[in-house]
Amino acid sequence: MKTNNLEKIWQIYPLMPEDFKENNKGFNPFILQLLYNRDIKSSDDLKWFFNDVEIDFLDPFLFRDMEKAVDLIIFHIKKGNKIMIYGDYDADGVTSSALLYDIFKIFKAQVDFYLPDRVSEGYGLNKGAIDDIKKDNFSLIITVDNGIRGKEEVLYAKSLGMDIIVTDHHAYPEEINDLPDCLIINPADKSSGYPFRFLAGVGVAFKLASALIQKSKLADEYKDLLISRSLDLVVIGTIADMVPLIGENRLISQEGLKILNNTKRIGLQELIKVTGAVNELNSFNVGFQLGPRLNAASRIKHANSALNLLISKDKEEAEKLAQDLNDKNIERQKITEEVMSLAESQIDINNLPEIIIVQDFSDNSWNEGVIGLVAGRLTEKYYRPVLVIIKTEEQVNDSDDQLQNVYKGSGRSIEEFNLVEALEDNKEFLYKYGGHPMAGGFSILSEEQVDAFSKNIRKMAQNKLAKTSLLPKLKIDCEISFEDINDELVESIENMSPFGQNNPTPKFVSYNLKIIEISKMGFDGQHIKMKFLNHDDRDMKSFWGISFGGSEKYGNLNVGDNVDVVYNLEFNRFNGRCDTQLKIIDIKIK
């Protein structure tokens, strides 16, 4: 695999205005700078962020179609009609499906779930699945984490006599006429009536479940219990889907982590166990341990095993399912590395285009389940929009059982290039598409159309990014001296958690540090620790910094070197000790 020779551009946020500092003297100035960087500027925003005022979840009935959707669900439950929850195969879709399935079962609904196969069916509604659902005598379909671009499929389901409710959080089509003709619960559009637009798919499912619970005749204390106990699923889908952890999502994450750490779900207990997590779970554990294992199910085989784990009532079954997901995640990691290496072999690091497009149209094409991960890693490494396109086989004509070649792509992008808009502008070449500004997926029906699409989107990227510096950028919150680092500051940083999208773990930079000790850790010495001295400080303070997996990257550094370092500040809790340490992000030698 090629070494990444692209040096990151360090970008430090502008200093906060003096009047903002003056008006908020009760805060540590470094914490105040961090909040300002996250656009948390009003006194109300500050109170809300730190829960200094009593806050609650927003009213789900603010959604324009919520009342009608709940009434329709109640109608079908009372009639004893069969209800199908139609989900998605990622962690967001799986947790959304499990949440509604669990709540509907409590209300004695005749309910089941359907998750499409990632490879043979792809994302979203499809007519073949709708036919099967109809054959099994279902009367109502509720989509979760999908459906907003399923106009034709919704029309088809209705033509078969089924009711359908779309709950989704993905971007709306540009044309209002392209919306599905049914009840829609989706905060992504301002016309939805809901003031917070950034819920994950599981957040939208949570709102539907909360509305159903609120309208029920259950006792108030039981209503509160049902809503609260769902938050362990909501926090996993929310963090795993990388939606902004601000506004209501921050409350979901804070309260959800409390419930998750005391979850009564056997499946989640076993999943947590196989991760080896021993301390209190935080956003890192969810985003990098629980979420990837749930996602691994569909990347390697089928998402049903992940959903069955979340709804399992049997400890022995849950143990087996959790171990299976752990094994699949290990396999997924191996496959990702293999595909990453093959994809990089197509990239000329000395002649990087504005958009990187890598592809494999061989008969044994790259594993479809990991191409989004590879696109993400390439985007992070080269700071370019990246598309990974492979050849698959899929049933396209619903009246024909024959499989035909379908070229599937997954993309990740940068702030300067809105990917879903680019796909929208090239929809003439696409069979299916959807996503967000920073991530999207698509299908194309012929290699000729792939060529035309690639040519067109390359031209778009050239025009859009011609004057943009496309070097990897590292956004740094502020400069800090060692003499300003203390336990109180680190505790205040911890209070800003959970960290995630739009509330990233704070990054600091310190200049002109001297390395005074170096040691390697781990089974084969892959981790590196360095002790830094800030000899410009009056107190001559020193701190240990650690880079996990950083021995190869920083193996050329020596004791006595003067360096500039970007890092996170954290506590290293070990054997009853609690010491401040730097978690190294980047180093530049002086």
How confident is residue 3, by pLDDT bands cut at 50, 70 and 90? very low
For the chain, what is the domain count?
Answer: 3
Q: What pTM did the predictor assign?
A: 0.84
Whether residue 514 lies inside any domain: the answer is yes
- Angle value at C-alpha 534, between 533 and 536, nearest 5 degrees: 145
| Shared domain check, 167 and 263 | yes
In this predicted structure, which of 40-49, 184-193, 405-414, 470-479 has the lowest mean pLDDT?
Answer: 40-49
| Shared domain check, 479 and 376 | no
If you average pLDDT over residues 276-300, what whole number do you get? 92
Whether residue 52 lies inside any domain: the answer is no
| Shared domain check, 230 and 118 | yes
* CA gap 113, 96 in Å, rounded: 11
**Could you list the residue range(s) of the whole structural domain that residue 293 is in?**
60-329
Domain end residue (candidates: 447, 465, 483):
465
How confident is the model over 266-275, as pLDDT tens digits?
999 999 999 9
| Shared domain check, 316 and 194 | yes
- 175 pLDDT higher than 70: yes
Q: Cα-flanking dihedrals φ and ψ of residue 368, to 5°?
A: -60, -30
Q: Which two tokens stand for residue 24?
A: 């908020």
| Shared domain check, 317 and 217 | yes
| Shared domain check, 194 and 96 | yes
| Shared domain check, 221 and 263 | yes
| Shared domain check, 65 and 92 | yes
Comparing 435 with 485, the larger pLDDT belongs to 485
CA neighbor of 138 nearest in space, from 160, 122, 166, 154: 160
How many Cβ atoms from other residues are within 10 Å of residue 78's Cβ?
A: 11
Whether residue 244 lies inside any domain: the answer is yes
* CA gap 566, 587 in Å, rounded: 6
| Shared domain check, 490 and 421 | no
| Shared domain check, 296 and 223 | yes
Domain end residue (candidates: 465, 484, 511):
465
Whether residue 563 lies inside any domain: the answer is yes
How confident is the model over 92-129, as pLDDT tens digits?
999 999 999 999 999 999 999 999 998 888 889 999 99
Domain end residue (candidates: 329, 358, 387):
329
Residue 66, pLDDT score: 98
If you average pLDDT over residues 296-314, what whole number do you get? 95
Q: What is the CATH number of the domain that holds 169?
A: 3.90.1640.30
Query: b/e for 331-354, b at 16 or more Cβ within 10 A?
Result: bbeebbeebbeebbeebeeeeebb
Q: What is the CATH number of the domain that holds 513?
A: 2.40.50.460
* CA gap 110, 87 in Å, rounded: 17
- 397 pLDDT higher than 70: no
| Shared domain check, 167 and 118 | yes
How confident is the model over 206-257, as pLDDT tens digits?
999 999 999 999 999 999 999 999 999 999 999 999 899 988 999 999 999 9
- Whether the Cβ atoms of residue 374 and residue 340 lie closer than 8 Å to each other: yes
- Whether the Cβ atoms of residue 99 and residue 234 lie closer than 8 Å to each other: yes
Residue 6, pLDDT score: 67
DSSP 427: G
If you average pLDDT over residues 534-543, what whole number do you get? 79
Comparing 320 with 473, the larger pLDDT belongs to 320
If you average pLDDT over residues 284-307, what whole number do you get? 94
Q: What is the CATH number of the domain that holds 391?
A: 3.10.310.30
Whether residue 123 lies inside any domain: the answer is yes
Average model confidence (pLDDT) for the chain? 92
- 401 pLDDT higher than 80: no
Comparing 49 with 410, the larger pLDDT belongs to 410
How confident is residue 2, by pLDDT bands cut at 50, 70 and 90? very low
DSSP readout, 455-522? HHHHHHHHHHHTTS--S-EEEE-EE--GGG--HHHHHHHHTTPSPBTTBPPP-EEEEEEEEEEEEEES
* CA gap 274, 510 in Å, rounded: 38
How confident is residue 537, by pLDDT bands cut at 50, 70 and 90? low
| Shared domain check, 197 and 325 | yes
Q: What contacts 488, CB < 8 A, 6 or more positions away?
A: 28
Q: What contacts 227, CB < 8 A, 6 or more positions away?
A: 57, 209, 210, 213
How confident is the model over 349-380, as pLDDT tens digits?
999 999 999 999 998 889 998 999 999 999 99
Whether residue 215 lies inside any domain: the answer is yes
Whether residue 340 lies inside any domain: the answer is no
Q: Which two tokens stand for residue 338?
A: 């293999």
Whether residue 410 lies inside any domain: the answer is yes
